[in-house]
């Protein structure tokens, strides 16, 4: 089992890459560039909030509801991986086989898959608005 991510580890190991990416994109964009985090406890922790404020990134956080799977692109990635794993013959029936399948499917996700998921964003936003934040087909 791997090491659990904590707010401190997130700020030490992930935020520096996020900061660098944000600055690179901000320099070349004519529009505002926002940072999107879900409502995980690591993202919402006081330690993370203070760290992002110190880095000058806090004001660029996009407001996000705590539980919004219909708008979270990673949920589409998980669905895609689950579908691909379920199509395997034979299906993984042990933990080690499932872990291997997950790693293989994660590695097989390509730009086309991500563009397809990203292109569904306007439809998902409209569906959430129409459902007034309630459940949608996504």
Residue 104 has pLDDT above 90, yes or no: yes
> In the structure, what pLDDT confidence band is assigned to residue 113 with cuts at 50, 70 and 90?
very high
Name which residue leads in pLDDT, 72 or 88. Answer: 88
Q: Are 118 and 74 in contact (CB under 8 A)?
A: no
Reported as half-sphere exposure (CB side, CA atoms, 13 A), residue 39 has a value of 8
pLDDT of amino acid 4: 84
Average pLDDT over residues 101-122: 92
Name which residue leads in pLDDT, 65 or 55. Answer: 55
Which residues, in sequence order, are CB contacts of 9 under 8 Å at separation 6+? 3
Tens of pLDDT, residues 5-42? 899 999 999 999 999 999 988 888 887 788 888 778 89
Strand blocks (E) in the chain: none
Q: Could you tell me which of 14, 65, 10, 56 has the C-alpha nearest to residue 38?
A: 65
- How does the average pLDDT of the chain come out, rounded? 87
Q: Are 117 and 81 in contact (CB under 8 A)?
A: no
Residue 108 has pLDDT above 90, yes or no: yes
Q: How many CB atoms lie within 10 A of CB 70?
A: 19
């Amino acid at each position: 089992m791997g090491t659990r991510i904590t707010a401190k580890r997130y700020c030490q190991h992930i935020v520096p890459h996020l900061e660098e990416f944000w600055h690179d994109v901000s320099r070349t964009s004519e529009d505002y560039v926002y940072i999107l985090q879900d409502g995980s406890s690591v993202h919402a922790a006081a330690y993370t909030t203070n760290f992002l404020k110190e880095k000058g990134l806090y004001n660029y956080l996009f407001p996000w509801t705590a539980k919004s799977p219909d708008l979270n692109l990673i949920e589409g990635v998980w669905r895609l991986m689950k579908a691909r794993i379920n199509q395997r013959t034979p299906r993984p029936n042990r933990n080690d086989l499932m872990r291997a399948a997950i790693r293989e499917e994660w590695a097989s996700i390509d730009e086309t898959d991500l563009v397809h998921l990203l292109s569904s964003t306007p439809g998902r936003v409209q569906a959430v608005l129409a459902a007034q934040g309630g459940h949608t087909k996504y």
